[in-house]
Amino acid sequence: MISKKICLLGAFSVGKTSLVEQFVHSIFSDKYLTTLGVKISKKDVAVDSVAVTLVLWDMEGKDTYADVNLAYLRGAMGYLVVVDGMRKETLQAAMDLHHLAEKLSGKSLPFYFLINKADLVDQWEVTDAMLDSLDKKSIKFFRTSAKTGQYVNEAFNALARDMLLASRA
């Protein structure tokens, strides 16, 4: 059996918890987020018929990432950084969190950016130009919607695949 620890990062109110609630399985209440600063969930995915259990560490989103409990990032094998498409400042926070994670792990871990709230794309502050710049930095992203489920599963699957490849390398 293969298990992977992944972290869900992102600024406050970007919709991380909504993503998790919709598409993953959890036995713990949301209260943990505010008490422990983390909520554990689980998602089973299959990559080329290999079952992979993703153990999600949904980290409490804060405006300032300095307060993120970095200890929770330890041992992560991949991560998702969530951005609120309607608030461009969350993209910057995501970048900061991404750098922090990279720095902390000391190596390049598989990761994806999830530009969330794709169902309200017309109200987005995050522009295509900003996304292009992500491309230039080789940052892969999905336009997701916790509401419609758009690209959520795809994002988890892609991350799982990348992590499997990384561990085989």
Partner 1 sequence: MAGDLNAETAAYAPQGDDVSCGVGDHGGAMEATGDVRAEFWQDIPDAPDDAELNELRKLLLRREQIALEKLVRQEGEKNYHIQQVSDVIAEAIIARSGRDSQLRMAIEPIVDATLKNSIRKRQQDFVNVLFPLMGPTIRKSIAESFRSMLGAFSKSVEMAFSWKGLRWRFDAWRTGQSFNEIVMLHSLVYRVERVFFIHGDTGLVLAHMEGEGVGSLDAEMVSAMLTAIQDFVRDCFAKGDEGALDTLRMGEFSIFIEKSNKAYLACIVRGTPHDSFRTHLRETLELMLVEFAEDLDDFSGDTEAFSATERYLESCLVAHYAGDNEKKLPLWAKFMPVLVVLLLCGGTGYYWYTTDRFNTTMREAVQTLRLEPGLVVSHVERQKSGPWKVLALKDALARLPEDVLRRAGFDPSLFEIQTIPYLSYDASIVTKRASTGIDVPDGVEMTFDKGTLSFRGTATMAWILETREKARSLAGVEHVDMRDLRDPRMGEIAEMVRKIESVRVEFPVNKDVPVPEDTEKLQKTVDMLAVLEKRVKEMGMVMTLTIYGHADATGTEKRNYEISQARARTVAAMLYARGSSMPIAMYGMGADHASGDGGAGSASADRKAGGSVQADRRIEFRVYLARAVPAGTEALLQ
Residues near partner 1 (CB under 8 A) are 1-5, 25-28, 32, 36-38, 40-42, 52-53, 55, 57, 69, 71-72, 74-77, 163, 166-167
**Least CB distance from residue 131 to partner 1, whole Å?**
30
CB 83 within 8 A of CB 130: no
Shortest distance (Å) from residue 130 CB to partner 1:
32
Question: Nearer Cβ to partner 1, position 5 or 117?
Answer: 5
Q: Where are the alpha helices (DSSP H) in the chain?
A: 16-23, 31-35, 89-105, 128-136, 152-168
Evaluate whether 83 touches 91 at the Cβ level (below 8 Å). Answer: yes
The minimum distance between CB 13 and partner 1, in angstroms, equals 22
Residue whose CB is less far from partner 1, 52 or 91: 52
Tell me, rounded to whole angstroms, the distance of Cα 155 from its chain centroid.
Answer: 9
